[in-house]
Every structure is written in structure tokens, then in C-alpha cells.
Amino acid sequence: MNVYMDNNATTQVKPEVVEAMKPYFTEIYGNASSKFYSIGRRAEQELARLRESVAKNIGADKANEVYFTASGCEADNWAIKGAALANKSRGNHIITSKIEHHAVLNTCEYLEKHGFEVTYLDVDESGFVSPEAVEAAIKDSTVLISIMTANNEIGTIEPIKQIAEVAKKHKVLFHTDAVQAMGHMKIDVKELGVDMLSLSAHKFHGPKGVGALYIRNGVRIDNLIHGGGQERGKRAATENLAGIAGLAKALDLATESLEKNTAVMTEKRDKLISGIKERIPYIKLNGPEGEKRLCNNVNFSFRYIEGESILMMLDMYNIAASTGSACASGSLDPSHVLLAIGLPHEIAHGSLRLSVSEDTTDEEIEYVLDVLPQVIQRLRDMSPLYEEVKNKV
Ligand SMILES: *Cc1c(COP(=O)(O)O)cnc(C)c1O
């Protein structure tokens, strides 16, 4: 059996999405900026239709509030750098959290090198950002708040609506990285009250390399890519019409089946969580339980062993998963998210993320619940730390 349980990293493109993309390679291949012949005008019309469809699915007032980008990272970079620079005359302070995606954190660090001041808010032991802490961090110089809708490692769903209210009360712009949330919970920009919102197609069964940034009309933001007049002159480059069609179709499917899909994913997630708890001792569930957890995310720390070793053993059983351990993060430190929720290094190193999709089967869940306890036991049997613990008991 081949089991893909890394849907927080990326997802399989749905066949309907591939079909929806095809005509834009072979038939409607005109440049949307070429208005003097029909195949160009056709591309322009299609682009407008797709933008309309995305806007409708995220609850935007107007289609022109949706800007297509080449990724979720790009949308995050644009929102933060663009809003910071455009509002520089009003202040230089930005508020974010310690558990944001690196697309947000590294962008903030970059801005710190260019005269901006950034507050990185702490989170509680489940990964929640408190709206009160956001409010307390606001100063006269604060121009932007960026807090993610849902965390990609431990699944925490943040109180975005409340934080948006705080931002609005203090007349500060509010951006949210909803890349992980899209397709896994209801996202309505008006209901959430956000000024900017990032999304990326490949996290909800669309193609890689295409994302979008919602920018509420009236938000001051600098242009991202300088060149032609595409995306209202804010992000030049000939539009990736096939990719945009894939994003729009994937979002359509995700929106249409949201209730059904989230119910399925929640059930699979909870089967994994309770099954692992029943079968394996010395573990810790990272992130919250219940409704405030992303419906497809499971993240456990297994004491006395290393996340990389778990992944390598799981790979031998053809199970694909992820870890917040150091080697995987490409540095000496384990995941910044696991450290921010207060895990000691040794426990953060033994983390495993399993993320399901609506296509995950019961057989796959059973297979993982069968294999994982064996893998953990075998690794623990080789662990000197575990040996000490056993001897003490
Ligand atoms: C995947 C992800 C991103 C980056 O999206 P890309 O399209 O891969 O650049 C940003 N933020 C979060 C929360 C993510 O999960």
C-alpha cells in the first residue's frame, strides 16, 4: 500500500482540475493583454471570469480585489512588504506571531534590516495567539498585523475574526495567511473582516505555482513586480491562465464540497489521533483538540526518538509524512512552531505530522495505525534514552 499523509505539504491535483486547465494550453492560449484579435480577447474574458469566480468563493465584494500570484509565499511577501512600504510615512511597526510560516517570518526579518520594527507575539501551549496580546502590542507606529488563519504544522485555528476587530478598532491593516485553511474551513473575507488574505492552489488539490492575494479595495499597498499593466499594474507578468483556471476550479470544488469534505477529514483525523493515543505510550499531541484544530492535521511528539528516523522507517512502508525535527527544518534547531508552544528540544525532535485529505481511505488509516506502533517500538528499542527510562520503572 502507498499512503500519502502529507497533505499539509501539498495535495494531489484533482482530475477535474487537470481537465479545467487543458484548454488554456491548447485552445485559449492567447495573451490576455493582446486585445486586437479574438484569441487574446478570449483569454482576457476568461481571466475576468476566473477572477470573478475566485472572488465569489472567498466572499470578496469585487473581482478586482483578487490578485493572482505565483505562490502562497509570493502572496505573503507582497502583503507584508507592500503594505509596510506603502504605509511607511505612518509608522514602521509590524505585529506577527512566532508560529507563522517562514514566508511571513523571513519577510518580517528582511524588513527589520530596512528600518522596520517587528513584534513576534508568543502563543500559548496549543499555539493560540491571543487577541488581547495583539491589542497590547499595538503602538502609534503600528501599520500592519499579520496572523495566520491556521497553522500548517500543528493545525491551530487562530481567532482571526477577533484579531481583525482589534486591528480595525486601531485602524491598523490586517493580513492573514490562509494558505493552509483554504479548503479545510469556511473562508469569507468579509465575515473574517480581513484587509488582505493569502491562498495557494496546491494546498487544496490545485496546481503548484499559483496563488492569490485578496486586497480589499482602499488598502494602500506598493506594487510587487514592476513591468506591464497586468493585475491592475500591481503585479506585472503575463498571466498564468492555465494555473489560474486550475486554482479557480480547485477552489470551486473545495467550496462546493466543503461541508462534506471537512466532515470526512475530521473523522479520519480523529481516528488517527485516538488510534495513536490508544496504541503508543509516552506521546504528546501537539496543537489543540477538537473544533479549533485544522480538520486534516495530526501532530504528535514521540519521546526518546528522532522524527527523521520515524520518517525513514515509515518510508520503507511507503507512508509519506513529515516532521518538525531539526534535519527536516534544514537547521540545527527543531521547528520554530514546536519551540514556540514550549516543547523542550528533545521532545520537539521526535515530532511527526500526518495530514489527511478527503481522499484518505479507512484502509490507509488502519495501515498507518498498524505500522506506526511497530516503527516507534523498534526505534525506541534502539534508543539509549528509552533504555534509561525502562530501567527506572
Ligand atoms: C504552504 C504554505 C505557504 C507557502 O505556499 P507556497 O504556494 O508553497 O509558496 C505559506 N503559508 C502556509 C501556512 C503554508 O502552509
**Model confidence pLDDT, tens digit, residues 210-257:** 999 999 999 999 999 999 999 999 999 999 999 999 999 999 999 999
Nearest ligand 1 atom, CA 8:
15
**Model confidence pLDDT, tens digit, residues 157-192:** 999 999 999 999 999 999 999 999 999 999 999 999
For ligand 1, whether the C-beta of 269 sits within 6 Å is: no
* Nearest CA among 341, 351, 347 for reference residue 321: 351
Domain chopping of the chain, boundaries: 3-9+258-392, 15-256
For ligand 1, whether the C-beta of 14 sits within 6 Å is: no
Cα three-residue angle 96-293-351, rounded to 5 degrees: 80
CA of 72 to the centre of ligand 1 (A): 5
Dihedral of CA 276/277/278/282: which sign?
positive
Please give the CATH architecture assigned to the domain spanning 15-256: 3-Layer(aba) Sandwich (3.40)
* Nearest CA among 87, 82, 168 for reference residue 131: 168
Q: Are 350 and 307 in contact (CB under 8 A)?
A: yes
Nearest CA to ligand 1 atom 12: 179
* Cβ neighbours of 320 (radius 10 Å): 16
The mean pLDDT of the chain is 96
Helix or strand run (H / E) with residue 285: strand 283-285
Q: How confident is the model at residue 326 (pLDDT cuts 50, 70, 90)?
A: confident
Lowest mean pLDDT among 46-50, 59-63, 107-111, 381-385: 381-385
CA of 168 to the centre of ligand 1 (A): 26
For ligand 1, whether the C-beta of 73 sits within 6 Å is: yes
Nearest ligand 1 atom, CA 203:
1
For ligand 1, whether the C-beta of 211 sits within 6 Å is: yes
**CATH superfamily of domain region 3-9+258-392:** Aspartate Aminotransferase, domain 1 (3.90.1150.10)
CA of 211 to the centre of ligand 1 (A): 9
Nearest ligand 1 atom, CA 100:
13
- Give residues with Cβ within 8 angstroms of 136, minimum separation 6: none
* 108 among known catalytic residues: no
* Cell numbers describing residue 367: 495501515
